[in-house]
C-alpha cells in the first residue's frame, strides 16, 4: 500500500515537473532574444568640446515650492489644502468632451467637475531669490487618470529652479483616460495657465509678484502634452479657435521655446490640417524603444516648424537609442502600457531611468539656458551631440538640426522633377547611380510617413560579372548651384553646407558593364552561341547590407578647384537602428512596417573646412556639391533638406570635423 502511495506521489511529481517543463518551453519559445545595435558610444561620445558648466548639475539657487489651483480638488489634497494661489476654473467644453454620457457621468463623479469647470492647478518649483526668472510650464500626457502624472517632472522642476527658472508642472489629469481628440484642450489649458501666471506676477501680495519674466516663456510637454505645446504655440498667435470661431483667443504671450518629449502628432488637427507652428525654438526628444508612441511622430511636427521672421530661432531633434516613453516621467516608469504591459513590452534593453532622466536634464536644461537666458555656449550641442560626449549617458544618438539662417536648396517637396531643386538656380543630377527617386520618408508604423519627401540614392560601384574586384567610376549625386543664388545667399567661408542623411540597409546589385561599341554584338555574329541571361537576384537572396557606409563630400568652385572631405568626420553615418519593443518573438515585425525608424542625421560642414583641406578652394564661388560614393562599394542613402546656412558663429564654435 505504502509502495503504491510512493509510486503515485512520484508519478504526480514527474507529471508536475513535465508540465512545468512544457510550460517553460512554451514561454521560452515565445520570448524574443534581446537584440541591440552595436554600441559605438565609446568612440562617438569620447569628446567633450563644450567648456560650459554641465547643465544637468544643480545651480546655485535654493528651491522653493508652492501649489496653485482651485482649492476644491476632490482627489488631490495638495490642490485642495495646500494651495497658495487660488485660480478660477475655466470652461473647456468647446475643446474636450467625454466619449459618451456614461463616461461623462463617471468622470464627473470621480473628479467632482465636468468639462465646463476645469481647474487651473499646478505645482511650482522656483528660485528663492528676487526675479525675474524665465517661466517654464511642463505638461504630462495621457495616462491612467487616477495615477496622477504631474508630480513626475519634479526632477526637472528642481534642477531648473536651482538654475534660475520658474517651473510649473501643470495638472491635466482630468483630461486623461479614455478621451480622444482632446489635444487642443491640453494646449489651450497651457495658455489659460499662462493667463494665471500673468496675474500671479502682477498681483500685489502674491509670493510670485515680479518674479516671473513673462517675456521669456517655454512650454514643455510629454506624449500628448508634447503635441499640446505645439497646439499652444499655434493658438497663442491666433485670434479665434480654428474649429469654432465663436471662441476668441487673446493670448499673445512671449513664448520663446517649445520642448516636445516623445510627442504624438496629428491627434488634433486644427481645421483638419496639421498644426502649423512657426517662429519658436523647438527641441524634440524621443526614445527608440518607446512602447507607447512607437514611431518618432514628432518628426512630422519638426518638419513643419518654419522660421519666417528674421529672429534667430533653431530647432533640434534627438533620437535616443534604448530610451522608452515613460521614463521621462518618474510616475510613469519603465512600463509604457501600464503594469500589465510587463507581459508585452521588452524592457531588458532600456537604458536606466537615471540615464534617461540625465539625458533629459542635459538637453532640456541646456536648451532653456540657450533660448531663455542667452547662454549661447550650449548651442553647438543642438547641431551635433558629439561635442558634449562626456555629459551624455552611453548610448546612441541621432541629431536633427536647423536654424533660421538655413536656406533650402533642395527639400524635394516642390515638384516631381527629380532634377529640380527647391529654388531656381539649383540643378540635381546623378552619375552611375542605381536608384534615384523622390518619395515620402516612411515611419516605422505601417502606412504612415514623416509627411515630407526625400531623395533616395542607391549605388553599386562593382561591375557585374565573375570578377568581383572590377569596379566602375564611383557613383555620385550632385547639386549645381548658380552664381546668382550663391550670391543672394551670401555663401562664403563662414557658410556651412547642411543636409540630413541616413543610409538604409538596401543594397543595389552590381552595375552592368559598359557596352564595348568597338566590337560587333555577339548576336550579330553568325553561329555565335547564345549566352544564358544572367540570373536575376530573387527577393530571397537579398540580405540587409551591414557593411559600414561612408562617402565623400566634394565641393567644386567656379574655377574647377575641388575639395573633398569624408562625411563620417561630421557625424556618424549609421544605418537605421533596429529597436525591438515587444517581448514576443516576431511581434515587432508583425506590428510595424520596419523594425527601425529612419531618422536622418543632420550634417553641418563649414565650407572653411574644405578650404583647410584644399587651400585655394573658394567657398564664395562654390558651384557644385557632390555626394561621391567612393568610400563604400555599394549602398543606399536617404537625403533631405540640403542647403546652406550662415548660422550664428556660436553654433559652430565647437565642431568635430576632419580638418580640425
Partner 1 sequence: MTRSIHFVLTTALVAASAVSVVSSVAHAQASSPDQRERYAPLILKLPATARLLSLGGAQVALRDVDAVFGNPALVGTATALAFGAERYASGATAGQFASSSIIGPLGIGVGVQLLDAGPRYGTFPARSEVLTRENAAGTGSVAATLAASLSWKQLRWGVGAKYVEERVSDDRAGGVAFDIGASRSLQFLSSTVGIAVQHLGPRFGVAGRRESLPAQVALGIATAPRGFGKWLDLSGTAQLDVRRDGELFPRGGVELSYVPIEGVAFIGRVGGRRPQLRDERPVAAGGGITIDRFTLDYGWEALREGSGHRLTVRLR
- Chain residues that interact with partner 1, rule: CB under 8 A: 23, 26-27, 30-31, 102, 106, 339-340, 342-344, 582-584, 587
Residue 344 or residue 432: which is nearer to partner 1 going by CB?
344
CB of 342 to partner 1, least distance (A): 4
Residue 23 or residue 239: which is nearer to partner 1 going by CB?
23
Grid coordinates given for 182: 482632446
Residue (of 485, 481, 487) closest to 623 by Cα position: 481
Pairwise CA distance, residues 300 & 441, whole Å: 10
C-alpha distance from residue 495 to each of 315, 412, 527, 561, 620 (Å): 18, 22, 63, 18, 9
Residue 470 or residue 589: which is nearer to partner 1 going by CB?
589
CB of 96 to partner 1, least distance (A): 21
CB of 29 to partner 1, least distance (A): 9
Residue (of 289, 273, 308, 301) closest to 356 by Cα position: 289
CB of 102 to partner 1, least distance (A): 7
Residue 336 or residue 438: which is nearer to partner 1 going by CB?
336
Residue 107 or residue 224: which is nearer to partner 1 going by CB?
107
CB of 108 to partner 1, least distance (A): 14
397-403 vs 314-320, strand pairing mode: antiparallel
Pairwise CA distance, residues 394 & 568, whole Å: 20
Helix (H) or strand (E) segment spanning residue 101: helix 101-111
CB of 340 to partner 1, least distance (A): 5
CB of 589 to partner 1, least distance (A): 15
Query: Is-contact 179 93, C-beta < 8 A?
Result: no
Label residue 84 exposed, middle or buried (CB < 10 Å: 0-12, 13-18, 19+).
middle
DSSP 411-443: -S-S-S-TTB-SSTTEEEEEES-SEEEEEEEEP
Pairwise CA distance, residues 174 & 107, whole Å: 8
DSSP-derived 3-state class of residue 643: strand
Residue 31 or residue 514: which is nearer to partner 1 going by CB?
31
Residue 98 or residue 599: which is nearer to partner 1 going by CB?
98
Residue 30 or residue 129: which is nearer to partner 1 going by CB?
30
Pairwise CA distance, residues 409 & 414, whole Å: 11
CB of 205 to partner 1, least distance (A): 42
Residue 17 or residue 62: which is nearer to partner 1 going by CB?
17
Query: Is-contact 421 443, C-beta < 8 A?
Result: no
CB of 345 to partner 1, least distance (A): 8
DSSP-derived 3-state class of residue 645: strand
Residue 191 or residue 581: which is nearer to partner 1 going by CB?
581
Q: Which residue has the cell 496622477?
A: 148
Residue 62 or residue 342: which is nearer to partner 1 going by CB?
342
The residues pairing with 255 across neighbouring beta strands, listed in sequence order, are 217
Helix (H) or strand (E) segment spanning residue 44: helix 41-44
CB of 321 to partner 1, least distance (A): 23
CB of 579 to partner 1, least distance (A): 17
C-alpha distance from residue 615 to each of 102, 433, 474, 623 (Å): 75, 30, 24, 17
The residues pairing with 502 across neighbouring beta strands, listed in sequence order, are 638
Amino acid at each position: 500500500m505504502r509502495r503504491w502511495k510512493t509510486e503515485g506521489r512520484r508519478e504526480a511529481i514527474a507529471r508536475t515537473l513535465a508540465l512545468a517543463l512544457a510550460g517553460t518551453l512554451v514561454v521560452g519559445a515565445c520570448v524574443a532574444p534581446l537584440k541591440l545595435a552595436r554600441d559605438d558610444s565609446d568612440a562617438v561620445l569620447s569628446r567633450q568640446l563644450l567648456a560650459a558648466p554641465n547643465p544637468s548639475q544643480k545651480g546655485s539657487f535654493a528651491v522653493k515650492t508652492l501649489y496653485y489651483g482651485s482649492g476644491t480638488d476632490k482627489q488631490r489634497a495638495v490642490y485642495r489644502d495646500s494651495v497658495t494661489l487660488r485660480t478660477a476654473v475655466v470652461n473647456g467644453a468647446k475643446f474636450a468632451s467625454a466619449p459618451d454620457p456614461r463616461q461623462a457621468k463617471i468622470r464627473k463623479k470621480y473628479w467632482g467637475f465636468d468639462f465646463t469647470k476645469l481647474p487651473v492647478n499646478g505645482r511650482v518649483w522656483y528660485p528663492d531669490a528676487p526675479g525675474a526668472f524665465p517661466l517654464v510650464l511642463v505638461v504630462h500626457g495621457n495616462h491612467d487618470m487616477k495615477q496622477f502624472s504631474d508630480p513626475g517632472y519634479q526632477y526637472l522642476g528642481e534642477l531648473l529652479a536651482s538654475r534660475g527658472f520658474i517651473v510649473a508642472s501643470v495638472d491635466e489629469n482630468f483630461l486623461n483616460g479614455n478621451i480622444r481628440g482632446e489635444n487642443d484642450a491640453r494646449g489651450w489649458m497651457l495658455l489659460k495657465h499662462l493667463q494665471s501666471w500673468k496675474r500671479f506676477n502682477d498681483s500685489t501680495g502674491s509670493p510670485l509678484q515680479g518674479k516671473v519674466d513673462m517675456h521669456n516663456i517655454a512650454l514643455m510637454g510629454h506624449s500628448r502634452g508634447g503635441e499640446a505645446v505645439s497646439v499652444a504655440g499655434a493658438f497663442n498667435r491666433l485670434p479665434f479657435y480654428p474649429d469654432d470661431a465663436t471662441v476668441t483667443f487673446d493670448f499673445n504671450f512671449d513664448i520663446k521655446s517649445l520642448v516636445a518629449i516623445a510627442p504624438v502628432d496629428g491627434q488634433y488637427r486644427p481645421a483638419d490640417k496639421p498644426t502649423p507652428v512657426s517662429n519658436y525654438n523647438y527641441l524634440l526628444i524621443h526614445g527608440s524603444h518607446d512602447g507607447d508612441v512607437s514611431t518618432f511622430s514628432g518628426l512630422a511636427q519638426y518638419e513643419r516648424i518654419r522660421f519666417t521672421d528674421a529672429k534667430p530661432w533653431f530647432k533640434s531633434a534627438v533620437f535616443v537609442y534604448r530610451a522608452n516613453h515613460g521614463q521621462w516621467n518618474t510616475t510613469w516608469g519603465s512600463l509604457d502600457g501600464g503594469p500589465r504591459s510587463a507581459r508585452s513590452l521588452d524592457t531588458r534593453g532600456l537604458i536606466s531611468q537615471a540615464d534617461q532622466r540625465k539625458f533629459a536634464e542635459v538637453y532640456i536644461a541646456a536648451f532653456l539656458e540657450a533660448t531663455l537666458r542667452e547662454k549661447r555656449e550650449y548651442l553647438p550641442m543642438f547641431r551635433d551631440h558629439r561635442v558634449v560626449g562626456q555629459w551624455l549617458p552611453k548610448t546612441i544618438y541621432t541629431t536633427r538640426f536647423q536654424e533660421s539662417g538655413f536656406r533650402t536648396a533642395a527639400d524635394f517637396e516642390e515638384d516631381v522633377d527629380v532634377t529640380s531643386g527647391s529654388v531656381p538656380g539649383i540643378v540635381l543630377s546623378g552619375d552611375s547611380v542605381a536608384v534615384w527617386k523622390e518619395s515620402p520618408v516612411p515611419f516605422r508604423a505601417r502606412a504612415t510617413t514623416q509627411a515630407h519627401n526625400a531623395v533616395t540614392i542607391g549605388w553599386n560601384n562593382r561591375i557585374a560579372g565573375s570578377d568581383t574586384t572590377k569596379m566602375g567610376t564611383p557613383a555620385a549625386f550632385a547639386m549645381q548651384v548658380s552664381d546668382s543664388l550663391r550670391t543672394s545667399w551670401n555663401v562664403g567661408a563662414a557658410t556651412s553646407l547642411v543636409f540630413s542623411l541616413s543610409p538604409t540597409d538596401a543594397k543595389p546589385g552590381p552595375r552592368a558593364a559598359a557596352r564595348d561599341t568597338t566590337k560587333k554584338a555577339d548576336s550579330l555574329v553568325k553561329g555565335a552561341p547564345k549566352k544564358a541571361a544572367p540570373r536575376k537576384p530573387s527577393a530571397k537572396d537579398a540580405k540587409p547590407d551591414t557593411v559600414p557606409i561612408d562617402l565623400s563630400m566634394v565641393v567644386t568652385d567656379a574655377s574647377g578647384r575641388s575639395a573633398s572631405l569624408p562625411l563620417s568626420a561630421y557625424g556618424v553615418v549609421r544605418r537605421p537602428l533596429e529597436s525591438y519593443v515587444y517581448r514576443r518573438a516576431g511581434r515587432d515585425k508583425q506590428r510595424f512596417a520596419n523594425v527601425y525608424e529612419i531618422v536622418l542625421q543632420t550634417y553641418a560642414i563649414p565650407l572653411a573646412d574644405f578650404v583647410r583641406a584644399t587651400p585655394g578652394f573658394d567657398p564664395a564661388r562654390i558651384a557644385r556639391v557632390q555626394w561621391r560614393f567612393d568610400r563604400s562599394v555599394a549602398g543606399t542613402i536617404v537625403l533631405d533638406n540640403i542647403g546652406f546656412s550662415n548660422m550664428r558663429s556660436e553654433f559652430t564654435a565647437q565642431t568635430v570635423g576632419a580638418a580640425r
